[in-house]
Amino acid sequence: MNHPTPDWHAAARAVKIDGRAVIGGQRVAAANGAAFVKTSPIDGRVLGEIARGGAADIDAAVAASRAAFADGRWAGKAPAARKKTLQRFAEKILSAKDELAVLETLDMGKPVQYSLAVDVAAAARTIAWYAEAVDKVYDEIAPTPASALALITREPMGVIGAVVPWNYPMIMAAWKLGPALAAGNSVVLKPSEKSPLTALRLAELALEAGLPAGVFNVVPGYGHEAGEALALHMDVDAIGFTGSTRVGRKMLEYAGRSNLKRVYNELGGKSAFVVFDDFADIERAAKTVAGSMFFNQGESCNAPSRVLVHARVAERFLEIVAAEAPKYAPGDPLSGHAEMGALVDEGQLRTVLGYIEAGRSEGAAVVAGGAAARTETGGYYVEPTVFAGVRNDMKIAREEIFGPVMSVIRFDSEAEAVHLANDSSYGLQASVWSDNINRAHRVARQLRAGTVHVNQYDEDDITVPFGGYKQSGNGRDKSLHAFDKYTELKTTWIRIDAARGA
Ligand code: NAD
């Protein structure tokens, strides 16, 4: 039987917001009583007050995490026991799916059916996948001489600080929480001040699932207050950060200024989507780039925002993309059928409109969109926008816009395409479209990006690593490789005496 479509507007009116932090298993206000008002980007409605965490709250959360780690209430459990608790956590997420979807949409503006089908589903799947993995990964014995035994074991690090952005709040949190908790660590999560609601609810659900108090703490607040305090803390062993390259630099500085904690940065992108003239199904390539670029309002780190097209097929490609773009026009995010929702806040709307202006003034041509939309709602919407005639040295081709703005750049040869694709400070993802198997492999090898797609852009799975080359970051989220970030590698040498006598 099909699940009836909820009345999302009614669900949004009914939702209860508790903006207090979760520290040591308790809901608590900020130590100094500070709070900020959270409004929704979909129509400006006030959602509630959120604790404005500061250094004192981070101290309390780190102390709770350290105490939980030190007494072994979680790290000391058998992997199979941690698995069961985390599986229950994933089930709790799924049983609260409608509520979490509404919270995510109200908080950061994405269409609610995608919050449900993509964000809630992926968050639950991530937690469940690491739960399943944890009692199936083995440690190593080194091939040493017979006089000794060398064990190479992975141990949890201790206290992990997770600092995440607002574009996929639940998924980004789950990508840190899954491997960090499964490995036995304690976590202090600092969600974005623009999207704290689902993180707080996740912490409650984890407690309901039986995760011991203190193992997973959430301190909402601003980046320069709670975020900085967490990254500077002397008792935090590692920071799992996802966000902008600007703040990623600061994370490395904070580590240098404090305890040299490990810093794993998942940062911005300006991903190239390279279409050769030997790719027959131009329509599929054009429709794919529109879908991937405008998904999540263009607020995706891996959005294919630099589209490189061979001059021979560029006109046809542009025609299709320009016709596709209006299909993603923003609508009411709570309707259940809008393709695009609201940008996260007024500042982001201004930033995106500023880039559109910069593109025009540098001489690129708008072939679709180019303006704000739904201004009567009190929310922050922008039309899906396509620029033609872009050069790779223009501001719109160099900087991450983080909005629904696509730049189309022409090229004439394979060498030029590879050069342009790699001529970026970022290296998160790339895509090559060609029916020539030699060219597809040759170009894929040359592209300097953490993920390269061939003749598609949509495949994604928790089993594969996600992260970037160059200034898109270091370390990888997802897959078994993510355990490397939250575990220490220990070598234990054991002497084996030769047999005495016969
Ligand atoms: P941001 O860097 O502004 O903020 C990210 C987080 O860092 C937030 O929680 C914020 O409060 C905190 N923060 C801000 N200033 C801080 C400071 N001085 N000290 C400590 N913490 C601080 O990024 P954003 O605008 O929230 O997110 C968008 C960015 O995230 C884009 O660049 C996007 O590409 C990137 N992103 C990357 C990935 C990836 O996996 N590579 C995934 C999603 C988003």
How many angstroms separate the alpha carbon of residue 163 from the centre of ligand 1?
8
C-alpha pair distances (Å), 250 with each of 58, 71, 227, 256, 399: 18, 32, 11, 10, 19
212, 103 Cβ separation under 8 angstroms = no
Residue 501 structure tokens? 């006598």
Q: For 312-341, b where at least 16 C-beta lie within 10 A, e where not — what string?
A: ebbeebbebbbebbeebbbbbbbebebbbb
Nearest CA to ligand 1 atom 30: 243
| 125-165: pLDDT as tens digits | 999 999 999 999 999 999 999 999 999 999 999 999 999 99
Residue 224 in contact with ligand 1 by CB distance below 6 A? yes
Q: Which atom of ligand 1 is nearest to the CA of 168?
A: 43
How many angstroms separate the alpha carbon of residue 310 from the centre of ligand 1?
34
Nearest CA to ligand 1 atom 23: 243
Strand-strand pairing, 487-495 and 381-382 = unpaired
DSSP-based three-state secondary structure for 341 = coil
How many angstroms separate the alpha carbon of residue 224 from the centre of ligand 1?
12
Q: Give catalytic residues, as residue numbers.
A: 266, 301
Q: How far apart are CA 490 and CA 142, in angstroms?
A: 12
Nearest CA to ligand 1 atom 43: 301
| 383-420: pLDDT as tens digits | 999 999 999 999 999 999 999 999 999 999 999 999 99
Q: What percent of the chain has pLDDT over 90?
A: 97
pLDDT of residue 1: 45
21, 204 Cβ separation under 8 angstroms = no
How many angstroms separate the alpha carbon of residue 155 from the centre of ligand 1?
28
| 320-364: pLDDT as tens digits | 999 999 999 999 999 999 999 999 999 999 999 999 999 999 999
Scan for tokens 């005495």, then name that residue.
Answer: 500
Residue 231 in contact with ligand 1 by CB distance below 6 A? yes
Q: How far apart are CA 497 and CA 479, in angstroms?
A: 40
Residue 228 in contact with ligand 1 by CB distance below 6 A? yes
C-alpha pair distances (Å), 222 with each of 194, 203, 256, 409, 470: 9, 19, 21, 38, 27
Q: Kindly give the residue spans of alpha helices, DSSP state H, lying in 325-400.
A: 346-361, 395-398
Q: Which atom of ligand 1 is nearest to the CA of 245?
A: 32
Predicted model pTM: 0.97
Residue 42 structure tokens? 């979909």
Residue 190 in contact with ligand 1 by CB distance below 6 A? yes
What is the average per-residue pLDDT within 157-175? 98
Residue 167 in contact with ligand 1 by CB distance below 6 A? yes
Rounded to the nearest 10°, the torsion over CA 44, 45, 48, 52 is: 10
Identify the band that residue 3 occupies on the pLDDT scale cut at 50, 70 and 90.
Answer: low
| 470-480: pLDDT as tens digits | 999 999 999 99
